[in-house]
Amino acid sequence: MTPQCLSSLSSFSPHIFLSLSTILILSCFPPTISSLSLFHPFNVSFSLIHLSVLSLTTLALISFTEQDCGRKQKLAEIHQALISDPVDIETLRRAAATKGGLLTDELRRKVWPKLLNINVYELPYKPGRDVRENHKDYNQVLLDVRRSMKRFPKGMPATERAVLQEQLINIILEVLKHNPQLHYYQGYHDVAVTLLLVVGERMAIAMLDTLSNYHLRDFMDPTMDSTKHILNYLMPILEQVDTELHDFMIRAEVGTIFALSWLITWYGHVLSEFRHTLRLYDFFLASHPLMPIYLAATIVLHREKDVKQTECDMAMVHHLLSRIPQDLPYELLIAQSQDLFNQYPPSLLAKRAALQSRKSLSISTFQAFQLSTLHQRPDSVLQRLEAALPRDRGQLWGKGNRMVKMAVWGLSATLGAAVFAVAQTAMDWGPEVLLQLF
């Protein structure tokens, strides 16, 4: 147990702390009747029961304290990573991928934009009603959003949900309008609504735009060929880990279509608990674009006994696999997915003939995208740089004028350590105030 955790134990009430001390003392002696008689000479059975209760209480308190210490340590690491200059992206990725993820929605609103290299001072404006005019995908988006009621928190007032659904339509259409090369697919709204519920409308537009051009890019082609290509990674992973399971699924001719909705919605469409969806989004935002398919393989492997006990028939196996149990051990599966990715990286799997016939844009652009996230300034620095810009710059900055940006980055380099020293204290309040504006 760490010194910090021991210190936390001392904060318990005297009665509990005395019980803890009693257990620690008793643990130094063999559990004989003579030693127990020191505490209750006329009722050994009662002493044993009392000792058992105290032991269980102690273990529970120690476990809770260690979890609390781990949470506080992760919070401190995330905070330090956010105020570092440049932002410590590797620490943020590690925090998002490891046990517990990013812990709270407040932290997600700070960390998710950094993982996608989004400047909170360059967010797009809220779209106007004209975004819906003559849009080829409007009717389909409208139908999908109207069917998305289960994606909103239970008990949310109908009026509030209606406002969010209108925002959701605008977010999707704005991104598609801004990227005419992208094609809408059913399930895209499941990704968009998750972002909207956590970060709000303007940040959701920025995040969805980035995801659509990188992590989700293969799903947004005019045909499903690229999506099938990504699904084709599933069976080779299974073959590497469990040949018997792989061969059973081949004989059943089940294919990989059962995992389609998992992949293209980042599991948002198939999970009933929003907290599980958020945990997976933490993981996927910090990971390679193929990580959702590694998680799919991990889920199938986790259900290996159920699969093998099913009749070797395509319809039966598909029916079983297409329904994800809601009580899966997500933290364990996330860790196993990361292990599979490290052991069988995409480059190794891609050597198989079936995976060489098509080039994935999501995979081919990921390395450059990942490198682009490594040189971000903390929000407190960006806030001061924003304040230093001319008040009437509006249109140029909103459209991302390259010359203005270059001037700002040159200024930030000149200010150097002086700005960063001030930023260390400003980070505590800057992002919260900023997020309220959006």
pLDDT at 420: 36
pLDDT at 70: 85
- Which range is most confident: 15-24, 38-47, 156-165, 423-432? 156-165
| 57-71, 215-229, 306-320, 338-352: range with lowest mean pLDDT | 57-71
CB count, 10 Å around CB of 399? 11
Q: How confident is the model at residue 389 (pLDDT cuts 50, 70, 90)?
A: confident
Average pLDDT, integer, range 185-210: 98
Average pLDDT, integer, range 123-145: 93
pLDDT for 438 beyond 70:
no
* More reliable by pLDDT, 22 or 87: 87
Average pLDDT, integer, range 147-163: 92
pLDDT at 4: 52
pLDDT for 170 beyond 50:
yes
* More reliable by pLDDT, 421 or 43: 43
Q: How confident is the model at residue 59 (pLDDT cuts 50, 70, 90)?
A: low
Q: How confident is the model at residue 304 (pLDDT cuts 50, 70, 90)?
A: very high
Q: Check: pTM over 0.95? Answer yes or no.
A: no
Task: Measure the CA–CA gap between 20 and 51, rounded to whole angstroms.
Answer: 11
pLDDT for 63 beyond 90:
no
Average pLDDT, integer, range 277-304: 98
- Going by C-alpha positions, the residue among 298, 272, 304, 302 that lies closest to residue 283 is 298
pLDDT for 158 beyond 90:
yes
CB 206 within 8 A of CB 113: yes
Q: How confident is the model at residue 402 (pLDDT cuts 50, 70, 90)?
A: very low
Q: How confident is the model at residue 201 (pLDDT cuts 50, 70, 90)?
A: very high
Q: What is the mean pLDDT of the chain?
A: 81
- Going by C-alpha positions, the residue among 47, 168, 346, 298 that lies closest to residue 176 is 168
pLDDT for 146 beyond 70:
yes
pLDDT in tens, 222-268: 999 999 999 999 999 999 999 999 999 999 999 999 999 999 999 99
